[in-house]
């Protein structure tokens, strides 16, 4: 057996000697994944990745550059074969270098001689190293590019597919570790915020497990019970020893949760020995029932209410103020109940217009006799989004009176524009006839004001994330109570909740637009014009979807004048599915340039999926190799678990093409075969995704027969665009326009 290659000198750190064969590469990749899994610091992982990459592919130089989009730069984070003083230096993230080119293109980039490559140049620190063959791969942190891994040699060679797979797999391992580290940091910060919130609010959380006779308490509750940090032993007896003897029976009953008490329990009790300073805790608990109907555990929350109890004791001694306190508490509870109800109702919509309508319906007539919601649009224009009046026949008068004031200038007694501009409530608690006369712009305006008879008004800004996004105006008419300070607080609370709901609706709409834009990046920007062929594609996104789908198609040239046409579907949705979609598209394009057999191209893509996708995601696809000639076109097709192609002939008839095979990403050696098809002039092949065949009306699928029926109805001599549009529209009509899956249709027709 040959000796392993010697250890290569490193400009940063020490790396192990790893033979270059595939088995040793797998071991190196496993070791790298193991170090990532145990939480090795990111800086060390980057050094490990650079070392392993250089040794595994026998490179003289390996670099890891982090992308910092805010500065439009790539920063050197780890390197092999370079001086340590280059770490931290940056280069532009544009196409001027190979690593920048790979980042912009989003795909691996090879170069036989990087010093002579016309596509890009070498940064100044590398220009004197005599680098030749090189390859750069994009390293992702989740769905976001983190940076680029690049390797190079000083001698002539050609990096192969195995080298690329190894480099991309190693980059994926470390990229996933970086993402996990980020998520862990977020979780730690979230827990810290929760602990801070509990401490600030003097709240504690607890659970009592019946079968283990064990109590778990949050650190904040430990402190409320008087335990030193880390000294609570989870023993229920330790808790009971801290409870005031006069309250002990009630607390024991809470832990036992007798069936007669019902599923909910609420009690206030004291902690601390008699005669010494005690504190009051208020606990809310709920029983959790096991599958067999027995009590499994009790979960609860406790709050320090010492100050509240002291205040209540003082108030109880002041009999003259007892009724006022009771009424105040009832009003506060009613306001709290209203706000809780409003929060639930407002959260039920992710459409800004609907949310605005819900808001005025909540306010009228419970808080006001008439209400307006105005939203800020692009350019700072405040636009009326919803209006309501307790007497619907007066709604037009309410609109008319504010429009008269706005059209004729001035802001009147109350102004939502002023509230939005200042970020503070515009509060007019008492309005009389003299006030109406003072602001009326003419007799018609005064008559409208007197007909509506406003008595009290408040306009508050709708503030979300520190910014005004609109305003809420509430008005009470004659016969209703005037707004007071408590009402103002309630209206501001309602506005705060409504602003969050409206902001969420806007964010949802923005996310939906972003998802659609990202989806388009996975598809070709335009179909090429091909001599002798008529090619058309249609892509329809699922209704209400906010995740990137896995459906894709591509059309690209092959050596010798042939063309490749592919339609595929990656399982699942979201960033992971998008990443696999990108991998499949790039793998297909790379392999198809040197392999004429569609079946073998799909087999190579299957191998790439197995090497680079660690989860159970799979892909289906149909790949065509198309060569046009003067009598039509010669097509070779291979199918990997995808819906079969449809053949449409120039006379208007339609049949299935018997091309089938095993889907990609499941088995190492899928069954894939090439099927030859001759297209006469006017004949066409139609490729669809399962969003077409599985379009449903109830339990009735559109199916392959639906496609055949649709094609037969198009009639003879149809163009590729007519065929594609007919199939997509027919599937959508079958589903009633409410599809839950993306649909893609590609038509390749031999020109008549």
Averaged pLDDT, 718-729: 92
Topology of domain 343-511 in CATH is Beta-Lactamase (3.30.450)
Confidence of residue 15 (pLDDT cuts 50, 70, 90): very low
User: What single DSSP character describes residue 641?
Assistant: S
Closest by Cα among 256, 254, 253, 226 to 238: 226
Is the pLDDT score of 158 beyond 80?
yes
342-395: pLDDT as tens digits: 777 777 677 777 888 888 888 888 888 988 988 888 777 888 888 989 888 888
Higher pLDDT among residues 138 and 451, named by residue:
138
Is 80 exceeded by the pLDDT of residue 269? yes
Cβ neighbours for 320, distance < 8 A, ≥ 6 positions apart: none
Q: Please determine, for residue 108, whether its predicted confidence score (pLDDT) is greater than 90.
A: yes
* CATH no. of 22-184: 3.30.450.40
pLDDT(473) > 50: yes
Higher pLDDT, 609 or 210: 609
Domain boundaries, the chain: 22-184, 202-316, 343-511, 522-750
The whole-number average pLDDT for the span 639-646 is 92
684-688, strands of its sheet edge to edge:
533-540, 743-750, 684-688, 646-648, 654-656
Q: What is the pLDDT of residue 615?
A: 66
Confidence tier at 624 by pLDDT (50, 70, 90): very high
CA-CA distances (angstroms) from residue 327 to 244, 366, 484?
31, 18, 15
C-alpha dihedral sign at 350, 353, 359, 364:
negative
Closest to 373 in 3D by CA, of 364, 385, 382: 385
- 21: pLDDT strictly greater than 80: no
pLDDT in tens, 177-205: 888 888 888 777 776 676 676 666 678 88
Distance CA 381, CA 370 (A): 22
Superfamily of segment(s) 522-750 = PPM-type phosphatase domain (3.60.40.10)
Q: What angle do CA 21, 107, 181 make, to 5 degrees?
A: 75
User: What confidence category does residue 329 fall into, taking pLDDT thresholds of 50, 70 and 90?
Assistant: low
| Architecture of the domain defined by 202-316 | 2-Layer Sandwich (3.30)
Angle, to 10 degrees, between the axis of helix 161-201 and the axis of helix 42-56?
170
Indicate the pTM of the whole model: 0.41
Q: With b meaning 16 or more CB within 10 Å and e meaning fewer, what string describes 674-705?
A: bbebebeebbbbbbbbbbbbbbbeeeebbbee
Please check whether the two domains, 202-316 and 522-750, share a CATH topology: no
Region 519-545: what's the mean pLDDT? 77
């Amino acid at each position: 057996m040959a000796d392993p290659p010697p250890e290569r000198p490193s400009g940063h750190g020490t790396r192990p000697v790893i033979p270059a064969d595939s088995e040793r590469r797998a071991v190196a990749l496993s070791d790298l994944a193991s170090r990532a899994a145990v939480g090795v610091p990111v800086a060390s992982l980057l050094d490990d990745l650079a070392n392993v990459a250089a040794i595994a592919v026998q490179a003289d130089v390996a670099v890891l550059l982090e992308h910092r989009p805010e500065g439009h730069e790539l920063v050197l984070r780890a390197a092999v074969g370079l001086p340590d003083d280059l770490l931290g230096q940056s280069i532009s993230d544009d196409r001027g270098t190979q690593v920048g080119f790979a980042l912009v293109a989003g795909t691996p980039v090879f170069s036989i001689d990087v010093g002579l490559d016309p596509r890009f140049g070498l940064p100044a620190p590398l220009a004197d190293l005599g680098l030749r063959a090189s390859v750069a791969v994009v390293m992702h942190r989740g769905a976001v590019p983190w940076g680029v891994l690049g390797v190079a040699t000083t001698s002539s060679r050609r990096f192969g597919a195995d080298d690329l797979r190894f480099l991309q797999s190693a980059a994926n391992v470390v990229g996933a570790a970086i993402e996990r580290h980020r998520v862990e940091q977020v979780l730690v910060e979230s827990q810290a915020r929760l602990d801070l919130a509990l401490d600030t609010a003097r709240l504690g959380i607890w659970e009592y497990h019946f079968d283990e006779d064990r109590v778990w308490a949050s650190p904040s509750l430990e402190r409320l019970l008087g335990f030193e940090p880390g000294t609570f032993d989870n023993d229920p007896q330790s808790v009971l020893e801290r409870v005031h003897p006069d309250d002990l029976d009630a607390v024991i009953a809470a832990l036992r949760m007798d069936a007669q008490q019902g599923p909910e329990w609420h009690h206030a009790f004291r902690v601390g020995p008699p005669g010494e300073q005690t504190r009051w805790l208020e606990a809310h608990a709920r029983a959790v029932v096991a599958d067999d109907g027995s009590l499994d555990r009790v979960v609860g929350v406790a709050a320090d209410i010492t100050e509240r109890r002291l205040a209540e004791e003082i108030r109880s001694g002041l009999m003259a103020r007892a009724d006022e306190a009771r009424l105040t508490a009832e009003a506060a509870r009613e306001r709290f109940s209203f706000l809780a109800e409003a929060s639930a109702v407002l959260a039920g919509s992710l459409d800004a217009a609907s949310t605005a309508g819900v808001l005025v319906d909540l306010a009228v007539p419970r808080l006001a006799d008439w209400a307006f919601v105005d939203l800020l649009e692009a350019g700072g224009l405040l636009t009326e989004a919803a209006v309501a009046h307790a007497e619907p026949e007066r709604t037009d008068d309410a609109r008319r009176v504010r429009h008269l004031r706005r059209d004729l200038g001035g802001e009147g007694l109350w102004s939502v524009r002023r509230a939005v501009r200042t970020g503070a409530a515009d509060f007019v608690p008492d309005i009389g006839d003299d006030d109406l006369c003072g602001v009326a712009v003419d007799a018609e305006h005064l008559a409208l004001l007197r007909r509506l008879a406003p008595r009290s008004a408040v306009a508050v800004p709708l503030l979300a994330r520190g910014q005004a996004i609109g305003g809420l105006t509430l008005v009470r008419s004659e016969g209703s109570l005037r707004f007071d300070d408590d009402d103002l607080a309630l209206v501001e609370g309602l506005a705060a909740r409504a602003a969050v709901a409206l902001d969420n609706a806007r964010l949802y709409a923005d996310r939906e637009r972003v998802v659609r834009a990202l989806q388009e990046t996975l598809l070709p920007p335009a179909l090429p014009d091909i001599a002798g062929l008529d090619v058309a594609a249609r892509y329809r996104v699922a209704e209400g979807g906010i995740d990137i789908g896995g459906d894709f198609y591509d059309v690209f040239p092959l050596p010798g004048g042939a063309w490749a046409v592919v339609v595929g579907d990656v399982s699942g949705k979201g960033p992971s599915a998008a990443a696999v979609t990108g991998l499949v598209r790039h793998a297909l394009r790379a392999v198809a340039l040197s392999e004429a057999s569609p079946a073998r191209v799909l087999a190579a893509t299957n191998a790439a999926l197995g090497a680079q996708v660690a989860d159970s995601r799979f892909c289906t696809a149909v790949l065509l190799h198309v060569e046009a000639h003067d009598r039509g076109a010669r097509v070779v097709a291979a199918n990997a678990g995808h819906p079969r192609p449809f053949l449409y002939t120039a006379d208007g008839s339609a049949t299935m093409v018997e091309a089938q095979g095993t889907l990609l990403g499941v088995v190492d050696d899928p069954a894939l075969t090439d099927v030859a098809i001759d297209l006469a002039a006017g004949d066409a092949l139609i490729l669809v995704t399962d969003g077409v065949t599985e379009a449903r009306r109830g339990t009735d699928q559109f199916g392959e027969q639906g496609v055949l029926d649709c094609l037969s109805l198009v009639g003879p001599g149809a163009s590729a665009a007519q065929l594609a549009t007919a199939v997509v529209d027919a599937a959508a009509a079958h589903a009633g326009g409410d599809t839950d899956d993306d649909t893609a249709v590609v038509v390749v027709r031999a020109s008549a």
